[in-house]
């Protein structure tokens, strides 16, 4: 190290000035290689020339290479170091060593397309690449723009070559590339090969497998790997498993594992907390989210940009948009993701004016929006029927050169469909430069249910069954459309078709958080341990609703049964069961918060307004599309959803 060298020279100078005799010459002859390396290194590093490079021992040249590469902090610096090494005209083996060090440093830098391209050019110049070189390039090729294809192909090329053989690091880097996509099929191939090559027990391979399966939401496989790890259940392993549960929406499992992690003495970091917060966001578990936020503050965990953004998303999705705004306003630094999360959150709550105002402020501050930002902007317009504004923002996005994603197209179709502009929506869909996905065709089909446009119904249903022949939602949607028109023969045909194709309906599910635990309900659910008490509350609700003058909208029950049976079915919809449980277990002014996996039933929406007024309770329901906030007999959506 330089400071050791300088200290030695300084002590020698002090001794000389103090009158001490100079060291005997024979001492220099017995100098160790390490000392020789240190003594010549400063001069070599700054003044090494091509003629001199040819005369120096290989280990000194390699020391120069290592020092030069270590000082590089950017891709540009690496290219500059490469140019300097080329001018030295290094011997063949030393130059190959230099290329491998440049390649490794390039792989460790930020994963960009430019870094990947440069890494490949370095690799191609190495005559006999080692496993270290293959590993470095596989790592470098895992870029966000092309995270798996090239990396996996290189791994297969290494297998075909036969030498060098892949090691545990090779498999671990290849698994990481597959997890980035994620590419489950390729990852399973790697798992199989790692098993055959005896590399599966490696902690690096196990961590890579755990991360892959967790990112692919294969939580059973991920948990199997996690439980089989005899060692190395480090922070990365715990965080990956918690993240897997979070992505799968298994909030109770994620939080249970988080508690186990603390009991095991493993301290979480900001990455772990992002996964825990995201689990709370998916489940709409506000109380748990608040507790986790307090835990972060109590433990002094660094709240970086990603964690702050996760907190904004959590509070917005848990129905506390005011707290989300406080987190956003308190951020010292905000990137595009943070702005987008806040705009999307405001849009979900139907606060179009606030969402669009924040977007204008974002543009004023010269922060470039992305696709997600415009999802929020266009959603805000769709939830409030702002057709002209939506068209204008769509043009703005194109003028800014932002390529529209499928979600952006979906938002625009949703805006037109909600506003009753069926012909314009149909024209927009059929002129899209990319093939519309099932969500867009479903929006078009829903919008056409009250029209006589059999051409749109026919085309949309045909496309849906081509794209998703096993998706029960498509069968149910078309069956419901026939039921609305009392075409019961066609309804029975659709149900028979579902049975013949082994398609199972996804039940409507609503959840409510009570005392830190999520309680889930499906329609006519009799499995809850307190179902008797819940049904007592339901009968009381039915009486109050009846006295208010409301008549059940039995048209929402799409079955060929009597009116009385339809009314009974409506009373036990999942959202109504969850609200009843909230009334049973909490008292005012506690807010009843419900999360539903499907769109709000129209009759349940009207009943929720009556409950909010009759019981004097605030009720917030998050359905698949947006938030509904019921206060005093009215809803924040203004009955437009």
- Whichever domain contains 316, its CATH number is 1.25.40
pLDDT in tens, 601-627: 888 999 999 999 999 999 999 998 899
Verify that 288 and 311 share a domain, yes or no: yes
| 356 Cβ contact partners less than 8 Å away, ≥ 6 residues apart | 377, 380, 381, 389
Within a domain: 622:
yes
CA distance 123 to 145: 20
The enclosing H or E element of 518 equals strand 517-522
Within a domain: 548:
yes
129 three-state secondary structure: coil
Strand 627-631 relative to strand 592-596: parallel, antiparallel, unpaired?
unpaired
Ramachandran region of residue 463, left (φ > 0), alpha (ψ -120 to 50) or beta? alpha
Q: Please give the pLDDT value at position 21.
A: 39
Verify that 531 and 581 share a domain, yes or no: yes
b/e burial code for range 626-635 (CB count within 10 A of at least 16 → b): bbbbbbeeeb
Q: Please give the pLDDT value at position 552.
A: 78
Look up the domain containing 594 and give its range. 519-635
| 329 Cβ contact partners less than 8 Å away, ≥ 6 residues apart | none
CA distance 384 to 419: 9
Mean pLDDT, contiguous 10-residue spans, the chain (641 residues): 38 37 40 36 49 75 88 91 88 91 89 86 92 92 70 89 90 90 89 92 93 92 92 88 90 88 91 92 89 93 94 95 96 95 96 97 96 97 94 96 95 93 94 94 87 85 91 86 82 87 84 89 89 95 93 58 53 92 96 92 92 97 93 91 74
Crossing angle of the two packed helices 406-418 and 387-399, in degrees rounded to 10: 160
CA distance 119 to 133: 10
CA distance 5 to 237: 42
- If one counts the domains in the chain, the total is 3
Contact of 378 with 412, CB cutoff 8 Å: yes
Q: Decide which of 300, 330, 360 is a domain's last residue.
A: 330
CA distance 165 to 159: 7
Cβ neighbours around 252 below 10 Å, total: 15
Largest CA distance in the chain: 114
Verify that 194 and 285 share a domain, yes or no: no
Q: For residue 510, list its beta bridge partners.
A: 521, 596
Q: Please give the pLDDT value at position 46.
A: 46
Number of alpha carbons in the 13 Å side-chain half-sphere of residue 220: 0
Verify that 254 and 213 share a domain, yes or no: no
Verify that 219 and 240 share a domain, yes or no: no
Q: Decide which of 330, 356, 378 is a domain's last residue.
A: 330
Q: Apex CA 418: angle with CA 414 and CA 420, to 5°?
A: 120
CA distance 592 to 576: 12
Q: Please give the pLDDT value at position 206.
A: 94
Place of tokens 């400063």: 42
Within a domain: 374:
no
CA distance 285 to 514: 9
| 551 Cβ contact partners less than 8 Å away, ≥ 6 residues apart | none
Verify that 526 and 616 share a domain, yes or no: yes
Verify that 224 and 239 share a domain, yes or no: no
Verify that 523 and 630 share a domain, yes or no: yes
Omega before 104 within 30 of 0, i.e. cis: no
Verify that 610 and 546 share a domain, yes or no: yes
CA distance 269 to 299: 10
Contact of 155 with 197, CB cutoff 8 Å: no
How far, rounded to the nearest angstrom, does the alpha carbon of residue 439 sit from its chain's CA centroid?
20
Nearest to 404 by CA among 366, 438, 441, 378: 378
Q: Decide which of 286, 313, 330 is a domain's last residue.
A: 330
Question: Two tokens at 9?
Answer: 């020279």
Q: Apex CA 242: angle with CA 239 and CA 244, to 5°?
A: 110
Q: Apex CA 295: angle with CA 291 and CA 298, to 5°?
A: 135
Omega before 495 within 30 of 0, i.e. cis: no
Number of alpha carbons in the 13 Å side-chain half-sphere of residue 381: 25
Verify that 285 and 301 share a domain, yes or no: yes
Within a domain: 551:
yes
CA distance 549 to 505: 34
Within a domain: 207:
yes
Within a domain: 311:
yes
Q: What is the DSSP string of 454-502?
A: HHHHHHHHHHHHHH-TT-HHHHHHHHHHHHHTT-HHHHHHHHHHHHHTT
Verify that 224 and 241 share a domain, yes or no: no
Within a domain: 383:
no
pTM greater than 0.85 (yes/no): no
Q: Please give the pLDDT value at position 28.
A: 40
Contact of 293 with 287, CB cutoff 8 Å: no
Contact of 383 with 347, CB cutoff 8 Å: yes
Contact of 601 with 577, CB cutoff 8 Å: no
Contact of 369 with 343, CB cutoff 8 Å: no
Verify that 162 and 217 share a domain, yes or no: yes
Cβ neighbours around 434 below 10 Å, total: 10
Cβ neighbours around 120 below 10 Å, total: 16
Question: Two tokens at 636?
Answer: 């924040």
625 three-state secondary structure: coil
Phi, psi of 634 (to 5 degrees): -130, 160
Within a domain: 588:
yes
The alpha carbon torsion through 241, 244, 248, 250 (nearest 10 deg) reads 20
């Amino acid at each position: 190290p330089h400071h050791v060298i300088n200290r030695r020279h300084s002590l020698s100078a002090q001794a000389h000035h103090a009158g001490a005799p100079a060291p005997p010459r024979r001492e220099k002859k017995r100098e160790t290689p390490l000392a020789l390396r240190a003594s010549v290194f400063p001069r070599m590093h700054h003044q090494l020339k091509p003629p001199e490079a040819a005369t120096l021992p290989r280990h000194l040249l390699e020391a120069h290479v290592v020092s030069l590469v270590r000082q590089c902090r950017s891709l540009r610096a690496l290219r500059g170091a490469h140019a300097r090494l080329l001018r030295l005209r290094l011997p063949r083996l030393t130059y190959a060593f230099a290329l491998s060090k440049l390649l490794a440093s390039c792989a460790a830098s930020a994963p960009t397309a430019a870094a990947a391209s440069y890494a490949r050019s370095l690799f191609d110049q190495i005559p006999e690449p080692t496993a270290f070189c293959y590993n470095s390039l596989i790592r470098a090729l895992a870029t966000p723009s092309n995270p798996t294809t090239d990396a996996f192909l290189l791994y297969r090329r290494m297998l075909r070559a036969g030498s060098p053989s892949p090691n545990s690091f090779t498999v671990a880097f290849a698994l990481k590339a597959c997890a980035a996509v994620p590419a489950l099929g390729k990852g399973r191939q790697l798992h199989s090969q790692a098993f055959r090559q005896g590399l599966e027990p490696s902690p690096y391979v196990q961590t890579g497998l755990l991360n892959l399966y967790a990112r692919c939401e294969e939580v059973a496989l991920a948990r199997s790997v996690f439980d089989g790890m005899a060692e190395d259940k480090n922070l990365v392993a715990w965080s990956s498993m918690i993240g897997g549960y979070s992505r799968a929406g298994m909030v109770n499992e994620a939080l249970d594992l988080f508690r186990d992690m603390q009991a095991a003495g493993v301290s979480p970091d900001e990455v772990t907390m992002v996964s825990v917060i995201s689990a709370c966001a998916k489940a709409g578990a506000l109380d748990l989210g608040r507790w986790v936020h307090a835990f972060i503050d109590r433990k002094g965990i660094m709240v970086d940009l990603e964690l702050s953004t996760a907190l904004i998303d959590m509070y917005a999705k848990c129905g506390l948009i005011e707290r989300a705004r406080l987190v956003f306003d308190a951020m010292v630094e905000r990137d595009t993701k943070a702005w987008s999360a806040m705009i999307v959150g405001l849009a979900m709550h139907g606060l179009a004016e606030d969402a669009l105002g924040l977007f204008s402020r974002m543009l004023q501050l010269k922060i470039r929006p992305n696709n997600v930002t415009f999802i929020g902007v266009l959603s805000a317009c769709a939830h409030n029927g702002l057709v002209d504004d939506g068209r204008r923002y769509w043009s703005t996005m194109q003028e800014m050169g932002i390529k529209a994603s499928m979600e952006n197209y979906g938002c625009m179709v949703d805006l037109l469909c909600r506003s009753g502009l069926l012909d314009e929506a149909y024209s927009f869909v059929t002129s899209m430069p990319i093939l519309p996905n099932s969500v867009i065709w479903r929006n078009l089909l829903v919008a056409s249910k009250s029209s006589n446009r059999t051409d749109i119904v026919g085309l949309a249903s045909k496309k849906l069954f081509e794209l998703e022949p096993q998706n029960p939602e498509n069968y149910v949607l078309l069956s419901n459309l026939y039921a609305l028109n009392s075409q019961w023969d066609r309804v029975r045909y659709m149900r028979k078709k579902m049975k013949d194709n082994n398609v199972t309906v996804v039940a409507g599910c609503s959840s409510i958080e009570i005392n830190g635990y999520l309680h889930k309900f499906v329609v006519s659910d009799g499995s809850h341990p307190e179902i008797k008490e819940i049904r007592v509350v339901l009968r009381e609700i039915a009486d109050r609703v009846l006295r208010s003058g409301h008549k059940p909208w039995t048209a929402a029950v799409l079955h060929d049964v009597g009116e009385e049976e339809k009314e009974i079915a409506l009373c036990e919809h999942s959202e109504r069961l969850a609200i009843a449980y909230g009334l049973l277990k909490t008292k005012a002014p506690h807010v009843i918060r419900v999360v539903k996996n499907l769109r709000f039933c129209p009759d349940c929406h009207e009943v929720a307004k009556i409950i909010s007024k009759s019981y004097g309770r605030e009720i917030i329901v998050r359905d698949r599309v947006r938030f509904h906030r019921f206060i005093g007999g009215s809803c924040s959506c203004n009955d437009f959803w």
